[in-house]
Amino acid sequence: MGITSAIVLYAVIWFLTLLVVLPLRLQTQGDLGKVVPGTHAGSPENPQMKKRFLVTTVFAAFVWVIVAGSIVSGIFTVRDFDWFNRMATPEVSQTGG
């Protein structure tokens, strides 16, 4: 895996992790009964984005190490995900004479 592939893989994992972390333990203005005029009741009271980004970064790094290690070690290859046999060579894909 090249450095660009590793960075892209980490970015994808980071954003997917962020989407999981954002709603965790979120208290909305409507839940607390303190809706600021002009905002939606579903708006967060205290989003704590710095804490959420830190949790996302740590967890994404952990997941990235597992996924990247599996790819580099050869446990997973691109051919493992070739469910429609599109990467087969002509010699392998021929069934008859």
- Each residue's pLDDT tens digit, 26-63: 888 888 888 889 888 888 888 889 999 999 999 999 99
Beta bridge partners of 44: 28
pLDDT above 70 for 96: no
- Each residue's pLDDT tens digit, 76-91: 888 888 888 888 776 6
- pTM for the model stands at 0.74
Residue 1, exposed/middle/buried by CB under 10 A (0-12, 13-18, 19+)? exposed
pLDDT of residue 7: 96
Query: What is the rounded distance in angstroms from the CA atom of residue 30 to the CA atom of residue 77?
Result: 48
pLDDT of residue 93: 54
Domain ranges within the chain, ordered by starting residue: 3-93
Task: Please report how the helices 49-73 and 3-21 are oriented relative to each other, as an axis angle in degrees rounded to 10.
Answer: 140
